[in-house]
Structure 1
Amino acid sequence: MKRELGVSVYPDHSDPLADKEYLTLAQKYGFKRIFMSMLEVSKGAEAVQAKFKDLISFAKKLGYETILDVAPAVFDQLNISYNDLTFFHELGADGIRLDLGFDGSKEAMLTYNSFGLAIELNMSNDVAYLDNILTYQANRPFLYGCHNFYPQEGTALPYTFFERCSQRFKKEGIRTAAFITSQIGTIGPWDINDGLPTLEMHRHLAVEVAAKHLFATNLIDDVIIGNAYASEAELRALGHVNRYQTIFRVSFVDEANEVEKQIVLNEQHYRRGDITEQVIRSTAVRQKYKTYNNPPHDSTIEFQVGDIVVGNDHFGKYKNELQIVLHPHRDFRKNKIGQILEEELILLPFIQPWSKFKFEEK
C-alpha cells in the first residue's frame, strides 16, 4: 500500500486564508491527506457548509484527500442522519472519521454509502472492534483506520499498546494512519495543546524522526501532523523522508576516509538474513570494495550502540564490510567511521533480516 503524508486543519479555530496558505505550502512538499476537524461546530448547517465546502474545494484542486472528523453531537447539531451522508458529499469530503463507534453492523453499512465516502475508524483501542465490523461484511476498500492524538502531556499511547492496536488493522489489510506533532504548531481542537501525537515517545521529537519511526514499524501507511501550523522547515524535512526504507542520518568521525564514506553513503545496504545480536551486517559492500585499502583508525576504542564500523586492512576477507553496532564491544580489525544520530537509535529494532536501509550525512 502506498504511503502518504498529511496535515490537519481546524476551521473553527483558524483563519481560512491561513489554512489555504498552509495547504498550498504542504502540497509543495508532497502532502496528500487532510485531517479536518468538525468536532467543534458552533454554527448552523448553512454557515458550516459554506466554510467547509470552500476549504475542501480548494484542497481538492491541490490534489488532497480530505477526511472529516465527526462526532455524534455534530450529527445532532446539524440534523444529519447516519443513514444519509449527503451533507458530507456536498461538502466535497472524501470520507468521515467516526470519533465514536456503534454496533459493528452500522459501521459496515456505512461503507456502502452511495457516495463512496471512506469510513475511518478509531484505531486506538485494543479490542475486537474491527473484527466485529468485518463480520458484518464491510466494504473493505472504503474502510480506513486512524489512531487518536493526545493533547495532554503524558497521555498518548505507549509503544507496545500502539503496536497491538495497529496490528489488528494491518493484518486485515486496512489502510492505517497515525499522528505526529509539530514542535511549532499551536492550533488543535481543544484549549490544551501540549502537542498532538499518537505516541507519547514522539511528543518532543522532530517530525522527521517521528515519521521515520512510524513508517519503520510497517504498521502505519499515512503519517499526519496533528497540530497546525507546522513550519516550512518541518514540512520540508517530512517531504524528504523516505517512506519505504529507513535512511539513517550519520555523523562521521574526523578520520573517516573517502572509501569508507563511499561505502556508507553511496550503496544500498541490507541486513544479512542470518542475523547476529552484536551488529547489523551489510556484507555485499565488501565484495565491491575488496581491492580498496583501508588502514586502521579509531579501532582500539569500545564501540557503542549506533556506531558505524567498517572492516579495516587487518580483517582479511571481511575488509570493508559495514556494520552497525547493537551491543558494545571491541575489535581492532574494525574502524569506527561515524555514528547514527542519537534520536534515530529508536529505528534500529526495525532493521530485520533482509531489511533495506541507507545513510545520509547529517
Structure 2
Amino acid sequence: MKFGLQLGYWMAQPPENAGELVVAAEDAGFDAVFAAESWGSDAFGPLTWWGSSTERVRLGTSVVQMAARTPAATAMHALTLDHLSGGRAILGLGVSGPQVVEGWYGQPFAKPLQRTREYVGIIRRILERQGPVTNDGPHYPLPYSGPGATGLGKPLKPIVHPLRADLPIWLGAEGPKNVALTAEIADGWLAIYYAPRLANMYNDWLDEGFARAGARRSRADFEIAASCQVVITDDAASEIERMRWIMALYIGGMGAPEQNFHAQVYRRMGYEREVDEIASLFQAGKKAEAAAAVPDELILDTAIIGDEEHVRKQLGVWSAAGVTMMLVSVSDVAQLRRLAPLVDM
C-alpha cells in the first residue's frame, strides 16, 4: 500500500509548513502529494510551487473542480505541470456540489455524470494531440456555436506537445453511479469517507464500470486512493473528540440541506438517524451539540486512530479491502515521521 500526503485547501491564510511537509513526505517514501481547492486557493499553484523542491513524488490534484475551468484550460494546467515535474502529474477531478458550482462559479450543476464523461473525453483528446479537438456534446461544444458566437471559432490542438498522452486522470466520486463511471473512464478513484466494512458494496459499483464496453482499465491496474485520517497516538479519545467537530461540519454544513453528498455517504453506512440529528443541530446553529451527536463508531469507520500496533493492523484491513493508497493529512513533520515506518508495509 502506498501513502499520499493530502495538503488540502488553504483556510484564511496559506499554511506555514506545507513546503516542509512536502519535502518530508518525499524523504519518508510517500508516493504522492495532493492539493485541493474549494472557493479560495487553487490546487495547481501549490503543487507547482512546493513540488518544485521534490524529485520523485507524484503531484496530484484532489480535486480540481470541473466548473472552475473549461476542459481545455484544465488540460493546459495538467500538461504544464506534467512537463515541469518530469511526468509526475496526476489530474484529480470532481464535480463539487450545486452550492459551489452555481453559487461560486456561476455554472449549472445539472447532469453531473454527463458533464464528467464529456469533460474527461475532451481532456484525453487534447493530451493525445492527434488532431484539432472538436466536441459536439451539449455541455462543452467545440468550437462554440451558441448564443453570441461569431462563427469564427476554429478547432485547435495544443501548441505544446504533452509529455504523456496517458497522464492519469482520477475522479473524486461518492455515489454508486459516479463510482461506476469512474471505473469506466478514469485511471483511479479518489474515495472520500471510505469504510472498509462496505468494500463489497464499493466493489459492486466499481465492477459495474469495469464491465462496461470500452472501459479504460481493469481492477488490476486501477488505483483506489482513500482519504483517511491516520493518527498514531496513545490518546485516541482526544483525537476522536477533535474529529467530531470536523465531521459535524461536513455532515451538517457542507452542501445544501436537501443535497449534501457527504451526508449521503454516511447514510449509506447505516447512520441515517445520526446524520439527521447532526444536520438538524448544525443548521440550527448548535454546532457544539452537533459535534457531540457524532458517535465514535461513525468516526472510526473512516479513520484509523490508535497506537502504532493498532494502526499497522488497520492498514492491513484497508489494503485487503482494495485500497492502493492511503491519502493522509498531517499537521506537522513530527506526525508525518511517525507514519514513516508504516509506508513500506
Provide the TM-score with structure 2 as the length reference: 0.50
- Look at both structures and tell me which one has the larger radius of gyration over its CA atoms: 1
Higher strand share: 1
Instruction: Provide the TM-score with structure 1 as the length reference.
Output: 0.48
